[in-house]
Structure 1
C-alpha cells in the first residue's frame, strides 16, 4: 500500500504542475466561493486550516476573510514526532517558516484544543468522491482528526478529483469535499 500511495503521489504532483495558471486562478476563486457559502463555515466560530503554498488550493485569502469575519483562525504546527497542534493567529504577521518549509504560527501563539474547533479544512494532493484523501504521507491529519468532532472539509481542484484513492484502516474521510464546481457532502 505504501508503494502504491508513493507512486500515486508522484503522478498527482506531476498533474498539479501541468495545470494551467488560468485554471488554478479560476479554481481558487470557485473553491473560496463554495467553501465560504457552506452553512457550517458561516456559523463556525473557530476555523482550523492550513496556509497554502505553491499550487495548493488557496487558503491565504480564506484566512484573511475568516479573520475579517472575527472568527478564530488556527493553523497547524507540526512536530517531528507526528504530533500536530492548532495555534490561533490574529494576523498573518504571526507566521514564520518552519523546518518543513511551511508557514506556521509562531511559538508564542495560543494552542487551540481539537475539541474547541468548529470547522477544519484538511489539505491533500487529491480527494476521492467519498471524502478520502491522498495526503502528503505524514499521517498528521489522520491522527489529529480522531481528537475532534469539528465539521471537516477537504478542498480540491475538480480536475484532481479521483474515483478512489488507496485507503488504509487509519485513514479518516472528510465530511465534505469542496471543488470549484460544488461542495459534495457525504
Structure 2
C-alpha cells in the first residue's frame, strides 16, 4: 500500500488545470524511474481534475488509483496511490491536505495564477509520511490490525492448549491401560 503523490490544482473551465502545489513520495522507484513516475502522476492528476465535474471521484490508471476532490471554489486535490491503498484513507488524507492548504493560502493567492506554480506547503511532507502506512494513519484500520494480531495470538494459544489436552488424554489412556494390565 503506497501513496505516491498529493497534488493541488486550480480547475479552470475549458482549460487545462493549473498546478498549485506538488508533493511526491517516489522512494519505491529506482532513481531512473522516478522522473517517469512523477510525470505519470502529474499527467493523471491534471487529466482527472480537467474531466472532473463532481466533488469526489476515483479513477483507475493502470495499477494506480487517482482520487480527486474538487471544491466549489474550483480548488482540487488529487492523491495518487496504488490499488491496495484504502479509498476512505485517501479521502481522509485529501481532507486534511485541503485544510492545511486553505489554512496557509487564502483564495486570492491561488485563484488567479494561470501558469503552473509550486507553492510551498509546510507540514505536507509530514502528512504524506503519516499516511504512507494507512494502518497507522487511520484509527479504524489500526484497531482492525490490532484485532487481527490478537486473534492470531489467541488461535495459536488455543491450538497449543488443544495439543496439550490431546497429550493429557493420551497419558490418561496409557495410565488406564497400565492400571488394567497390572
What TM-score do you get using the length of structure 1 for normalisation? 0.24
Larger of the two Rg values belongs to structure: 2
Structure ranking higher in helix proportion: 2
